[in-house]
């Protein structure tokens, strides 16, 4: 097999462990210099390939690459650029192949969610038909945990851990003050289409009555009457009520609660979050004193409290992606396979990209309690192992030491610029 | 000296290390059983004394009390009940003395901020004049860091660490996505009157150009034109802009920005936070894509990433409070004294409550850069040592192990109930 270079890119919303997958790819490639030449990373994701802005990871020291294990965000930059279908924008795909050909790239490692799995598949197919076959391997990543075939997605376990811990800590705060102060606390978390992240907050509860008392899932249509009744019940029984709401919580007709139209003083519609809206509803209906928090990017970048299990899996998937490529695989995604035993174990399996692309894995109804406000034991069994272990970064002067790479570009070889 | 019991209560907003002060008080008292009998804790703070709801901390095991070192929130409950002045509500003070007398309480340890220092002083004075002298010692605590005479306040260092780390992590997330996605990120933090917490976010920056690019302090009147210009400049220079806003940010006339009057669809005024309002302003003026977060209680309960320095000081102040009491001191507060050397050191000093009560320590103007949007080297020198060290809790199954006490009440001795 002639030695080829590899291309690696990060796609979509970043996570606190996506760089661990990058580390897995690069370290493993470096072990096989006879087969893989340079690992070139896309600057700002796939845009880097389209613009021929390719980062030479070979310029980074061994320790800098190791530093990726403890560095959140996307070290090479990521992007939200979704490649259209082949029919709609064949030019973009052809440009990718052109750039890959110019830089002798034979391996395409794409680290992202559902959309990027689809892109990966198309690159593989088109490269074949254009006579420059590229082995395309998808490395799964998404905090939303909504990819099919893999038991879970790297990035999710760490968000789950952050949300579960934050819910427990804030709930203790509210519990100790509720006699004379805040009685209702609302934490808004990510998850626009699937309630996995909100569900993870349920791990904060160890026994009946523990917070969170109410979880709002996108999968369950919001019912204001039931919601307010549940708030009143929690306050009556426990003295306070902790609510964790998925940003994707929606009405029966599928519209998001967060789109319910607040206006500013000038009548402009206001793009507030869900948490303040729910707080207002609670206040109007019950008069309870409330507080609310929106963790937003904090939850997906909280490398300081990443899950060791999540980190290990993120690395292993990057490593396996390279091993698959070296074994001649194409159009596949390494995935997490959960062991059958009672004690949690996992290994890496292989999924065909044809079965992955454009399929969203929702929370099973059996993971949500019948009242729609909590998680079942089945959900707990699924979620609990994913947050195990504390993968602490190193600290200096009280602050975590995160790595910044040099990110030096290789010289361009193509005359043509590509506008995107 | 006849053996007397001690009373300990937590007051106002709780912190991630206030229980370490409780631990310091209780462990130290237990070493002096010849002088201090029981340590009785107020259930829900001073309300517990007024209602004669006194928790017998003697029922708690040695390891449960040690567990307070790693437990956020107020283990005995706290409250926002502010005792009025002696003239306005002498009955409340007299009731306190009555309860203390009934339970042979000779030591009053009050763990709180400025208001509780004032209460502490009044209890000491009135008990003397009522012929049942009580030694009242104030144990400082407030995330707001606004108590005078002490170099800093326990609780603040841990919030500062949380805010600095969260700012750095979220900023890395934004930086890696800004090419095609979010360009402006706003984090709202606590601090209604003083900008200490917002200032701590400045520790996230290590070199020029690092986030946060803009900090909004309550001490600096908000100027929309300058603010928007600074946002544009940051986006132009760095590709993105991270803003950390104190909830207390205010207009020139002293009104809070967060009170600027959003209305819901029915015309009711909406109690949204500052972050979404600033986001709306940024969008209207610049069109930049934005995200925002409000960390609210998460920041003050984040025991999982508490500062070791903060924890050590919180414990030492509780310990010293008891030692002061045993040495016959009255109406005093142990405080943190910073050593003169270049290398950070601290010791415990003593402040008279007369000088502490009702004085707020604001950020010096010299801690804020001349443009009003950042912190100076002086601020950095002051803040940096307070976040040093990671006081990790123990974990089980991926979740921190926090202590819940039995909180058993001692039998009441008074017939009379007291309505508050």
Surface of A (82-121) touching B: CB under 8 A: none
User: Residue A406 has what pLDDT?
Assistant: 97
Contact A173 B297 (CB under 8 A): yes
B169–chain A nearest CA distance, Å:
5
Q: Which site among A184, A272, A343, A388 would you substitute to test the B interface, given the most B Cβ atoms closer than 10 Å to its Cβ? A: A272
Architecture of domain A4-142+305-359+392-400: 3-Layer(aba) Sandwich (3.40)
Q: Which site among B202, B272, B307 would you substitute to test the A interface, given the most A Cβ atoms closer than 10 Å to its Cβ? A: B272
Would you identify the CATH topology of the domain A156-301?
A: Rossmann fold (3.40.50)
| pLDDT interval class at B420 (50, 70, 90) | confident
| pLDDT interval class at B85 (50, 70, 90) | confident
Contact A177 B260 (CB under 8 A): no
Mean pLDDT for A244-257 is 93
Contact B181 A80 (CB under 8 A): yes
| pLDDT interval class at A38 (50, 70, 90) | very high
Q: Which site among A42, A260, A297, A302 would you substitute to test the B interface, given the most B Cβ atoms closer than 10 Å to its Cβ? A: A297
CA–CA separation, A351 and A332 (whole Å): 6
CA–CA separation, B214 and B374 (whole Å): 6
Point out the least confidently predicted range of A35-39, A66-70, B264-268, B346-350: B264-268
| b/e burial code for range A342-372 (CB count within 10 A of at least 16 → b) | eeeebebbebebeebbeeebebeeebbeeeb
CA–CA separation, A345 and A60 (whole Å): 34
Contact B384 A402 (CB under 8 A): no
Contact A294 B294 (CB under 8 A): yes
**Would the pLDDT of B263 be above 80?**
no
Q: What is the mean pLDDT of chain B?
A: 94
> Tokens standing for A167?
């819910």
Burial classification of residue B337, based on how many CB atoms lie within 10 Å of its CB (0-12 exposed, 13-18 middle, 19 or more buried): middle
Give percent of chain A with pLDDT exceeding 90: 87
| pLDDT interval class at B86 (50, 70, 90) | confident
User: Residue A110 has what pLDDT?
Assistant: 98
Residue-level length of chain A: 420
Chain B positions in Cβ-Cβ contact with residue A165 (cut-off 8 Å)? 304, 399-400
**Would the pLDDT of A58 be above 70?**
yes
CB contact B213 to A (< 8 Å): no
Quick one: angle between helices A308-326 and A156-177, nearest 10? 170
Point out the least confidently predicted range of A107-111, A122-126, A303-307: A122-126
Backbone phi, psi, residue B340, to 5°: -80, -25
A280–chain B nearest CA distance, Å:
7
Active-site residue among B115, B144, B151, B310?
B144
| pLDDT interval class at A261 (50, 70, 90) | low
Q: What value of ipTM does the predicted structure carry? A: 0.97
Mean pLDDT for B277-282 is 93
Which candidate from B174, B296, B398 shows the least CB-CB separation from A387? B398
CB contact B17 to A (< 8 Å): no
CB contact A260 to B (< 8 Å): yes
Which candidate from B73, B172, B294 shows the least CB-CB separation from A301? B172
Surface of A (341-370) touching B: CB under 8 A: none
Mean pLDDT for A123-135 is 93
| pLDDT interval class at A262 (50, 70, 90) | low
Which chain A residue's Cα is nearest to B302?
A169
User: Residue B78 has what pLDDT?
Assistant: 97
CA–CA separation, A390 and A403 (whole Å): 19
CB contact B210 to A (< 8 Å): no
Q: What is the pLDDT of residues B288-325, one digit of tens each?
A: 999 999 999 999 999 999 999 999 999 999 999 999 99
| pLDDT interval class at A272 (50, 70, 90) | low
**Would the pLDDT of A128 be above 70?**
yes
Which chain B residue's Cα is nearest to A190?
B293
Pick the CATH number of B4-142+306-359+392-400 from 3.90.220.20, 3.10.450.50, 3.40.50.450, 3.30.1360.120: 3.40.50.450
User: Residue A147 has what pLDDT?
Assistant: 94
Report the C-alpha dihedral over residues B194, B200, B201, B203, rounded to 10 degrees.
150
Backbone phi, psi, residue A164, to 5°: -65, -45
A55–chain B nearest CA distance, Å:
14
CA–CA separation, A106 and A127 (whole Å): 10
Which candidate from A172, A292, A399 shows the least CB-CB separation from B296? A292
| pLDDT interval class at A125 (50, 70, 90) | very high
Q: Which site among A294, A302, A381, A400 would you substitute to test the B interface, given the most B Cβ atoms closer than 10 Å to its Cβ? A: A294
Q: Which site among A173, A281, A388 would you substitute to test the B interface, given the most B Cβ atoms closer than 10 Å to its Cβ? A: A173
Q: Which residues contact B87 (CB under 8 A, 6 or more apart)?
A: none
Contact B264 A275 (CB under 8 A): no
Closest Cα to residue B408, out of B59, B103, B73, B23? B59
Q: What is the pLDDT of residues A291-349, one digit of tens each?
A: 999 999 999 999 999 999 999 999 999 999 999 999 999 999 999 999 999 999 999 99
Active site residues of A: 144
Quick one: angle between helices A90-102 and A114-129, nearest 10? 70
Q: Report the 3 state secondary structure along B69-127.
A: HHCCCCCCCCCCCCCCCCCCCHHHHHHHHHHHHHCCEEEEEEEECHHHHHHHHHHHHHH
Burial classification of residue B394, based on how many CB atoms lie within 10 Å of its CB (0-12 exposed, 13-18 middle, 19 or more buried): exposed
CA–CA separation, A416 and A420 (whole Å): 13
Point out the least confidently predicted range of A64-78, A267-281, B339-353: A267-281
User: Residue B240 has what pLDDT?
Assistant: 98
Give the pairing type, strands A346-352 and A332-338: antiparallel
User: Residue A415 has what pLDDT?
Assistant: 86
CA–CA separation, B201 and B185 (whole Å): 13
Surface of A (277-336) touching B: CB under 8 A: 279-280, 283-284, 291-298, 300-305, 307, 309
CB contact B19 to A (< 8 Å): no
Contact B169 A298 (CB under 8 A): yes
User: Residue A420 has what pLDDT?
Assistant: 76
Give percent of chain B with pLDDT exceeding 90: 87
Q: CA B199 → CA B190, B353, B364, distances in Å?
A: 11, 27, 11
Asked if the domains at A4-142+305-359+392-400 and A156-301 fall in one CATH topology, the answer is yes
Helix (H, G, I), strand (E, B) or coil at B283: helix
Helix (H), strand (E) at residue A92: helix A90-102
CB contact A184 to B (< 8 Å): no
User: Residue B193 has what pLDDT?
Assistant: 85
User: Residue B267 has what pLDDT?
Assistant: 54
Beta carbons of A322 and A345 less than 8 angstroms apart: no
B278–chain A nearest CA distance, Å:
11
CA–CA separation, B9 and B107 (whole Å): 11
| pLDDT interval class at A267 (50, 70, 90) | low
Q: Where are the domains of chain B?
A: 4-142+306-359+392-400, 156-301
Which candidate from B79, B283, B307 shows the least CB-CB separation from A179? B79
Surface of A (47-66) touching B: CB under 8 A: 47
Q: How many CB atoms lie within 10 A of CB B237?
A: 11
User: Residue B88 has what pLDDT?
Assistant: 85
Q: What is the pLDDT of residues B89-147, one digit of tens each?
A: 889 999 999 999 999 999 999 999 988 999 999 999 999 999 999 999 999 999 999 99
Q: What is the Cα B127 distance to its own chain's centre?
A: 28
Mean pLDDT for A346-362 is 91
Q: CA B298 → CA B50, B159, B226, distances in Å?
A: 30, 9, 30
CB contact A394 to B (< 8 Å): no
**A–B interface: beta-carbon pairs under 8 A:** 243
> Tokens standing for A70?
């403890």
């Amino acid at each position: 097999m002639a030695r080829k270079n590899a291309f690696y890119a990060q796609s979509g919303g970043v996570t606190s462990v996506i760089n661990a997958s990058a580390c897995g790819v690069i370290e493993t490639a470096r072990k096989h210099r006879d087969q893989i030449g340079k690992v070139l990373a896309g600057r700002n994701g796939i845009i880097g390939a389209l613009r021929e802005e390719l980062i030479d990871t070979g310029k980074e020291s061994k320790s800098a690459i190791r530093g990726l294990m403890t560095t959140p965000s996307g070290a090479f930059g990521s992007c939200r650029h979704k490649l259209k279908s082949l029919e709609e924008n064949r030019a973009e795909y052809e440009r990718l192949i052109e750039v890959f050909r110019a830089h002798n790239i034979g391996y395409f490692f794409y680290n992202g969610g559902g959309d990027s799995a689809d892109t990966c598949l198309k690159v593989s197919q088109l490269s074949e038909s254009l006579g420059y076959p590229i082995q395309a391997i998808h490395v799964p990543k998404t905090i939303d945990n909504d990819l099919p075939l893999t038991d879970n997605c790297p990035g999710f376990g760490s968000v789950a851990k952050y949300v579960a811990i934050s819910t427990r800590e804030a709930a203790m705060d509210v519990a100790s003050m509720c006699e004379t102060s805040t009685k209702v606390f609302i934490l808004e978390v990510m998850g626009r289409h699937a309630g996995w992240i909100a569900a993870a907050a349920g791990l904060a509860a160890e026994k009946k009555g523990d917070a969170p008392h109410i979880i709002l899932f996108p999968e369950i249509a919001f019912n204001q009457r039931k919601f307010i009744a549940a708030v009143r019940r929690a306050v009556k029984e426990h003295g306070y009520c902790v609510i964790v709401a998925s940003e994707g919580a929606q009405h029966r007709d599928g519209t998001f609660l967060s789109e319910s139209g607040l206006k500013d003083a000038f009548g402009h519609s206001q793009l507030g979050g869900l948490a303040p809206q729910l707080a207002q509803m609670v206040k109007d209906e019950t008069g309870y004193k409330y507080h609310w928090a929106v963790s937003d990017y904090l939850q997906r970048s909280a490398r300081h409290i990443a899950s060791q299990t999540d980190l290990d899996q993120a690395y292993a998937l990057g490593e396996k992606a390279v091993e698959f490529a070296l074994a001649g695989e194409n159009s596949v995604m390494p995935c997490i396979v959960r062991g059958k035993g009672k004690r949690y174990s996992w290994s890496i399996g292989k999924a065909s990209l044809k079965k992955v692309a454009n399929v969203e894995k929702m929370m099973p109804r059996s993971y949500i309690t019948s009242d729609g406000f909590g998680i079942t034991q089945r959900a707990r069994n699924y979620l609990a192992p994913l947050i195990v272990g504390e993968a602490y970064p190193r600290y200096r002067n009280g602050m975590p030491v995160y790595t910044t790479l040099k990110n030096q570009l290789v010289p361009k070889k193509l005359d043509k610029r590509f506008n995107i």
